[in-house]
Amino acid sequence: MNGTVITADLLVIGFGKGGKTLAADMGRRGRTVVLVEETVLMYGGTCINTGCVPTKSMVYHGEHRPQGAAGASAYAGAVAATEQLTAGLRAANLAGLVQIPAVTVLTGRARFVNADSVEVRIGDDELITVTAGDIVIGTGSVPLIPDIPGLSDCPVAVTSAELLHRASRPDRLAILGGGYIGLEFASMYAAYGTSVTVLEQRPAVLAHEDPDVVAAARGVLADRGVTLVTGAETTGIQTVPRPGLPSIARVDYLVEGQTTTVDADVVLVALGRTPNTTHLGLDRAGVEVTDTGAVVVDEHRRTSQPHIYAVGDVNGGPQFTYVSLDDYRIVLDQLAGAASPRAASQRQAVPNCLFLSPPLARVGLTECQARTAGYDIRVAASPVVNLATVARARIVGDTVGMMKVVVDAATDNILGAALLCHDAHEVINIVALAMRHGISAHALRDAMYTHPSMSECFNQLLGLLE
Q: Give the model's pLDDT for residue 321.
A: 94
Alpha-helical (H) ranges within 67-179 are 71-98, 160-164
How big is the CA angle at 86 (ends 166 and 95), to the nearest 5 degrees?
145
Of 3.50.50.60, 3.40.50.10490, 2.40.50.140, 3.30.450.90, the CATH number of 4-142+274-346 is: 3.50.50.60
Fold classification of 352-465 (topology level)? Enolase-like; domain 1 (3.30.390)
Q: Which of 64, 208, 279, 451 is catalytic?
A: 451
Of 321, 352, 55, nearest to 186 by C-alpha is 55
- Whether 451 sits among the annotated catalytic residues: the reply is yes
Q: Give the model's pLDDT for residue 466.
A: 67
Residue 326 contacts residue 52 (beta carbons within 8 Å)? no
The rounded distance, in Å, linking the Cα atoms of 36 and 359 is 35
Phi, psi torsion values for 153, nearest 5 degrees = -95, 0
Q: Give the model's pLDDT for residue 123.
A: 87
What CATH superfamily is the domain 157-271?
FAD/NAD(P)-binding domain (3.50.50.60)
Q: Give the model's pLDDT for residue 70.
A: 87
Furthest-apart CA atoms within the chain: distance in Å? 73
For residue 192, give every residue at least 6 positions away whose Cβ sits within 8 Å of its Cβ, in sequence order, or none: 62, 65, 71, 72, 74, 75, 78, 169
Residue 230 contacts residue 387 (beta carbons within 8 Å)? no
Phi, psi torsion values for 449, nearest 5 degrees = -120, 155
Residue 110 contacts residue 242 (beta carbons within 8 Å)? no
Position 436: which residue type? R
Chain segment 401-459, per-residue pLDDT in tens? 999 999 999 999 999 999 999 999 999 999 999 999 999 999 999 999 999 999 999 99
Residue extents of the structural domains in the chain: 4-142+274-346, 157-271, 352-465
Which residue ranges in the chain fall short of pLDDT 70? Answer: 1-2, 68, 466
Does 211 sit behind a cis peptide bond, omega within 30 degrees of 0 on the bond before it?
no
Domains 4-142+274-346 and 157-271 share a fold: yes
Chain segment 183-201, per-residue pLDDT in tens? 999 999 999 999 999 999 9
Q: Give the model's pLDDT for residue 69.
A: 73
Q: What is the dihedral of CA 308, 310, 314, 316, to 10 degrees?
A: 110
Alpha-helical (H) ranges within 256-362 are 282-285, 321-336
For residue 278, give every residue at least 6 positions away whose Cβ sits within 8 Å of its Cβ, in sequence order, or none: 293
